Amino acid sequence: EVVMTQSPATLSVSPGERATLSCRASQSISSNLAWYQHKPGQAPRLLIYGASTRATGIPDRFSGSGSGTEFTLTISSLQSEDFAVYFCQQYNNWPPMYAFGQGTKLDIK
């Protein structure tokens, strides 16, 4: 079973600054990683899949990188609407299995 660990648990950043969120897999998952944004009371939103491909309609200030066991989500210039919880997710092709990290809460500094 692959375990996903996100860091930090909480990140405080000022609007307009860059935010860097990390996700580590307990074993290599190639590029089988997605990132989601989740705001209270709302549906989660897909940001990135394949470790670095932005989903449809996602602004280019969001970028993903990494492969193997270390992954990063970078938000280049934080907007007010970006403050939320971010989850990484790994997927196993066969049998289909999906594991999420515990989340990073992005707070306004």
Partner 1 sequence: QVQLVESGGGVVQPGGSLRLSCAASGFNFRSYSIHWVRQAPGKGLEWVATISYDGTDRYYTDSVKGRFTISRDNSENTLHLQMNSLRPEDTGVFYCARDAGGVSWLFNYNGMDIWGHGTPVTVSS
As beta bridge partners, residue 10 has 105
Phi/psi at 91 (nearest 5 deg)? -135, 145
Q: How far apart are CA 74 and CA 64, in angstroms?
A: 6
Both tokens assigned to 28: 């290599």
Nearest approach in angstroms of CB 66 to partner 1 is 16
Q: Phi/psi of residue 64, each to 5°?
A: -120, 150
- Residue count (the chain): 109
Q: How far is the CB of 98 from partner 1 (least distance, A)?
A: 4
Binding residues with partner 1: total (CB under 8 A): 30
> Least separation, in Å, of the C-beta of 62 and partner 1?
13
Residues in contact with partner 1, shown as a per-residue x/- string from 32 to 71 under the rule CB under 8 A: x-x-x-x--xxxxxx-xxx--x-xx---------------
Contact footprint for partner 1 (CB under 8 A): 32, 34, 36, 38, 41-46, 48-50, 53, 55-56, 87, 89, 91, 93-103
